[in-house]
Each structure stands twice: as structure tokens, then as C-alpha cells.
Amino acid sequence: MLSELAGGARTVGELAAPHSMTLPAISKHLTVLRRAGLISQRRDGRTQVCTLAAGSLREASVWLQQHHEFWTERIDNLERFLETQ
């Protein structure tokens, strides 16, 4: 769903269409994404419109990159150590 929202705002119905999930299951999934700060939702009449919260995703991307670099360095150090044994 996040990749679908990367293309722009979508209604809950549009997000649900390609998935074989019930509307309540889709709503629960969207609630988790909203609470995590990854999407925002607004009402447009009777329709819920979802948009991607790009700022939160950028923060998550930076955090993941930092940890990726940290663990890559640690694993490389371990590999060099094991080669000497």
C-alpha cells in the first residue's frame, strides 16, 4: 500500500481493490500505518483519502541506513577476525 501511495493520494477503496482482503482488514492495516506516522488520512465527504507521510519515511530511511552501515562494519570485522583464526 505504501508503494501505491507513492504515486499519490488514494481512497481506501482504491487501496483495497488490488488486494484480496476485506474492507475492515484494509482499514486495520491503514490504522497501523497511520499510527506509525507513515500515512495520513482525511475525509472527503464520505470517502477516506490516504496520503503518504514522506517526512516519516525519510526519517526511517536515514535510521535504516545508519544501522545498515553499523552492522555491515561489525560483520566485516567479524569476518576478518574469523579469517585469522
Question: pTM score, two decimals?
Answer: 0.67
What phi-psi label fits residue 37: left (phi over 0), alpha (psi between -120 and 50 degrees) or beta? left
State yes or no: pLDDT of 75 exceeds 90.
yes
> pLDDT tens digits for 19-73?
888 889 999 999 999 999 999 999 999 999 999 998 888 888 899 999 999 999 9
Residue 11 CB coordination number (10 Å):
13
Collapsing DSSP to helix, strand or coil, 48 comes out as strand
